[in-house]
Amino acid sequence: MIYLDNAATSWPKPEIVYTTMDEFLRTKGGNPSRGSHSLALAARETVEETRRLIARFINAPESKRVIFTLNCTDALNLGLKGLLKPGDHVITDSIGHNSLVRPLKKLESQGVRVTRIPPSPETGVLSVKDIEAAITKDTRLLVVTHASNVTGVIQPVEDYGAIVRRHQVLFMVDAAQTAGKYPIDVEASNIDLLAFSGHKGLFGPPGTGVLYISDHAELDSIREGGTGSYSEQEEQPVNLPDRFESGTLNSVGIAGLGAGLKFILGEGLDKIMTHEQSLTNRLIDGLGKISGVTVYAARNRAQQAPVVSFNIKEYTPGDVGTILDQAFDTKVRTGLHCSPAMHKTLGTFPQGTVRISLSYLNIAEDIEMTLQAVERISVSRDFSNSGRSMR
Ligand SMILES: Cc1ncc(COP(=O)(O)O)c(C=O)c1O
């Protein structure tokens, strides 16, 4: 089997993630921050160790600014809804995932004003000038997608961070497709809110995500409840991370996320990037040589995350995905990938694309076999009569 749907969730996980989670549940399964018996303390130490590792990984000044969430969607909701009030103005891109688009739509219906900036049709990158021109006296936040989950184009967040800081606008980044795959330094890039999944590039299990909050961003909680702290008071505590972590945490998931991060630190991000870039380059070059195939990717390979879309002439993306799965045991994602706006920009709406997304655990042979499969589909009439249409 060849798994190429790592942008949705990475699989398989490194062995250490499985063993750590198994061991955690068997030996440390207390409720972190609830009680002072040894199992609760062991669970808490594991959670805090992961928090420290993440803080170090993104260069956060304090680990308490790392908030555990359910996934990247949850982190985006917390950042946006915790910050924005009616009358605020937000600047965003027009390539975002629905987990960014939909909370913003909701906030728009409540009186937040949103300006959406399209990327350059040639490079897929947002222009710093367009962003700066959109800033008004009411602009509270710039929120961008670090890498598109359709084309893999990486945006230059350091450049955007420099601009918004000059204008005293807060800066939020959706790093769902880059965390664990590309260096992110929240201090150097002036990022105030960084949202990412734990279950994609960081190799944690599903049900894990993170929001980093800088000391410039004053957020309200959007969910209140027990935190295991200040139990005598009825109001939500204001200290971090408790303010934003009500209810029992996904401690076993956070243990797995910590193990995923240790794996990444052990291998080294440079080695991971080099391997993924080499596979991605081979994939883009190979797809580009197959007749009838259109590739959607970054023009500049230095701005390419390991996510690539394509279509094959005369086939719907759904048909290609089904054939790859059933005839070649190869798992890809097809359709809109929850990013309709990106497809409108690419001209692939409403059918979408076939998406291949890689992980460090993919090997060169996965790419060669997939290229052969795509080539066979593109030249064969047999498959085009499959009559399936899935989206
Ligand atoms: C760019 C982007 N943002 C946000 C998300 C949502 O991530 P999660 O599934 O962790 O909520 C995804 C998921 O694919 C994504 O690609």
In a domain, 384, yes or no: no
> 360: exposed, middle or buried (C-beta count within 10 Å: 0-12, 13-18, 19+)?
buried
In a shared domain, residues 36 and 60: yes
In a shared domain, residues 226 and 355: no
Cβ-contact 307, 357 below 8 angstroms: yes
Q: Are strands 353-357 and 66-69 parallel, antiparallel or unpaired?
A: unpaired
Q: How far apart (Å, rounded) are the C-alpha atoms in residues 196 and 69?
A: 9
In a shared domain, residues 74 and 222: yes
Ligand 1 pocket by C-beta < 6 Å: which residues? 7-8, 71-73, 97, 99, 145, 149, 174, 176-177, 197, 209
- Domain-terminating residue out of 267, 286, 317: 267
In a domain, 222, yes or no: yes
> Which position among 338, 342, 358, 371 bears the catalytic label?
338
* pLDDT, tens digit, 9 for 90 and up, residues 93-135: 999 999 999 999 999 999 999 999 999 999 999 999 999 999 9
Given the CA of residue 96, which atom of ligand 1 is nearest to it?
Answer: 1
- Domain-terminating residue out of 267, 284, 301: 267
* pLDDT, tens digit, 9 for 90 and up, residues 197-233: 999 999 999 999 999 999 999 999 999 999 989 999 9
In a domain, 385, yes or no: no
In a shared domain, residues 129 and 185: yes
In a domain, 135, yes or no: yes
- What's the predicted TM-score (pTM) here? 0.96
* pLDDT, tens digit, 9 for 90 and up, residues 124-155: 999 999 999 999 999 999 999 999 999 999 99
Name the band, by pLDDT with cuts 50, 70 and 90, for residue 33: confident
- Domain-terminating residue out of 267, 290, 308: 267
In a domain, 202, yes or no: yes
Cβ of 278: how many Cβ atoms within 10 Å? 13
Distance from residue 257's CA to the centre of ligand 1 (Å) = 16
In a domain, 235, yes or no: yes
Percent of the chain at pLDDT > 70 equals: 97
Q: Which residues are CB-neighbours of 329 under 8 A, at least 6 positions away?
A: 1, 2
In a domain, 388, yes or no: no
Kindly report the CATH number assigned to the domain that includes residue 176.
Answer: 3.40.640.10
Given the CA of residue 7, which atom of ligand 1 is nearest to it?
Answer: 14
In a domain, 386, yes or no: no
In a shared domain, residues 238 and 320: no
pLDDT for 361:
98
Domain count, the chain: 2
Name the band, by pLDDT with cuts 50, 70 and 90, for residue 69: very high
In a shared domain, residues 231 and 298: no
Report the residue among 101, 257, 338 best suited for mutation to probe ligand 1: largest number of ligand atoms under 8 A from its CB.
338
Distances from the Cα of 186 to the Cα of 145, 292, 364, angstroms: 15, 42, 33
In a shared domain, residues 196 and 277: no
Q: How far apart (Å, rounded) are the C-alpha atoms in residues 21 and 254?
A: 9
Cis peptide before 32 (omega within 30 of 0): no
The closest alpha carbon to 202, from 6, 2, 372, belongs to 6
The closest alpha carbon to 372, from 259, 253, 286, 263, belongs to 286
338 an active-site residue?
A: yes
- Per the structure, the complete domain to which residue 319 belongs is given by 2-9+268-378
Give the tokens for residue 360.
Answer: 């460090």
Report the residue among 150, 177, 334 best suited for mutation to probe ligand 1: largest number of ligand atoms under 8 A from its CB.
177
Kindly report the CATH number assigned to the domain that includes residue 312.
Answer: 3.90.1150.10
